[in-house]
Structure 1
């Protein structure tokens, strides 16, 4: 009987589309081994699938995140508020999205003492939500907030009156509207762990809403997605968020009426003579 000397590389039939992997994380041109996917790619897929499941089910360490925020030189004077949605556990959160859109009674009561008077509303409420990936919050929330606060402090006039940062467990995007309304804030920015993909279990999403209140639809929000080192980096994400926040405050609107032109270096203004002004 002849000795088998065939190597792993020789056993795999390469796909000419494999070169596209240099431009995307998608699984393109994997090749084949016989009639099957090569073992290395199959194992990589199974690992990615397991990481996505872990991202969904791993609980966010709220205490550690709150402590880490307070240690930053950009942190507000008030400690972050630890809140919870009406979804009592992860199973309920996954099965009842509506419970994740509203605060539980204890959290709602906690916000009462921090509510701004009607004559002096907060300019901005920042809400950090575990969402569908606590990993995204753990890895990306702090570095993004550092960039955002740098831009808010250095380039904004007038200054921003910011509500205490709210860290919310078992929350959906719309829970930011509930918090915004209860705090009496003009605008809310929600940082939330996005639904994990098989190449991105750590993707952070940003959702901005002007005068958020319970019952608003996604048409009233602006979204910045895939914030992470392998996606939209922190300085670029903060630049986009700062642009949209500034425009939302100037125009008093958000959502489909507010266009992201941050890359064009122009700012919209609701002006009878001209709607476009070049930024310096």
Structure 2
């Protein structure tokens, strides 16, 4: 027999595991199975590889050019145990980006990087719908091809942006999965990216997904940060998010 919890009415306000009831001295079967499923989904999110071909095809169908790179971590085993390797490009990717930069004399204003991070699910599901909303708000900016990065940590964007001479880089990366959010996407914005940048020199927008920070709100906040980063020529702790609520539908990034 399951005994209800007096806090049951509070469950509609949170995804946290509260007021689950009790069966004897243990959890009822349903919430126990739900917990085990969430744990399995979180583990899968960490180990599932990013389908780069499918993501590239979807991005191209949406009108974005793409480039593929990989970090110096040769596989998931090394990626999880050697975070330093996830912050460096492998030799083939270094050469590919150097060729791309040589073929384009103009430095792009903006570079987006879609990275697997700790949840390939996040990049697979959320990058394209987010980028299509961001693109609608961009005005007067040159944008590089979207770089799809595997076995990637956030700081890998510094080297990619440095090679492509981008003024601002946005790393869209799968965040560490939780038991209620296996597909949360984080956005890390860095002005003048280069090897050796510190986390304090970035701005972060977290929990981008329909169940968290929805695409339209995330696109608005990202656009606001990009605008301010260009105006102030900085990102990080010196750039505070004062974007407020969503503006009128036609508001976007101002031209230089």
Q: 1:199-256 deviations in whole A, cap 9, x for unaligned?
A: 0001111000001111111100100001001001001000000000011011100000
Output the CA distance in 2 between the equivalents of 1:68 and 1:120: 26
TM-score by length of 1: 0.85
Partner of 1:223: 204
- C-alpha distance in 2 between matches for 1:201 and 1:116: 39
- Structure 2 CA distance, aligned partners of 1:187 and 1:229? 26
Q: Could you tell me how far 1:121 is from its partner in structure 2?
A: 2.1
Contact 1:21 1:28 in 2 (8 A): yes
Q: Is 1:210 aligned to residue 191 of structure 2? A: yes
**Number of the residue aligned with 2:243:** 262
| Partner residue, 1:33 | 23
Change (3 A) 1:32 1:264: closer
DSSP 3-state at the match of 1:262: coil
Aligned to 2:112: 126
Report deviation, 1:120: 3.7
Residue 119 of structure 1 and its aligned partner are, at CA, apart by: 7.8
Q: Partners of 1:118 and 1:111 in 2: how far apart?
A: 11
Output one character per residue of 1:34-86: Cα deviation in whole Å (capped at 9) or x when no partner: 000111110000000000011111111101111111111xx24xx31010000
Contact 1:82/1:166 (<8 A) preserved: yes
- The 3-state SS of whatever aligns with 1:114 is helix
Is residue 2:163 matched to residue 1:177?
no
Tell me: CA distance 1:49–1:265, structure 2 relative to 1, closer, same or farther (3 Å): closer
CA contact (8 A) 1:226 1:232 kept: yes
For the residue of structure 1 that corresponds to 2:114, the secondary structure is: strand
Determine if the alignment matches structure 1 residue 53 to structure 2 residue 40. Answer: no
CA distance in 1, matches of 2:102, 2:20: 56
Report the CA distance shift for 1:20/1:116 in structure 2 as closer, same or farther (over 3 A).
farther
Q: 1:232 to 1:95 in 2, by over 3 A?
A: same
Q: CA deviation at 1:116?
A: 6.6
- CA drift of 1:18 comes to 2.0
Q: Superposition pairs for residues 11-90 of structure 1, below 5 Å? A: 11-72=1-62, 75-76=63-64, 79-90=65-76
Q: Structure 2 length as normaliser, TM-score?
A: 0.93
Extract unaligned runs of 5+ from structure 2: 248-253
Alignment check: 8 A CA contact 2:217 2:246 kept: no
Aligned-residue Cα RMSD (Å) equals: 1.7
Q: Is this contact kept in 1: 2:184–2:207, CA < 8 A? A: yes
Aligned partners of 1:235, 1:264: CA distance in 2, in Å? 11
* Alignment CA distance shift 1:145-1:85 (3 Å): same
Judged with a 3 Å threshold, the aligned counterparts in structure 2 of structure 1 residues 109 and 242 are, in CA distance, closer, same or farther, namely same
Q: Assess if the C-alpha contact under 8 Å between 2:46 and 2:177 holds in 1.
A: yes
Q: CA separation in 2, counterparts of 1:265 and 1:227?
A: 15
Q: Distance in 2 between matches of 1:196 and 1:107?
A: 27
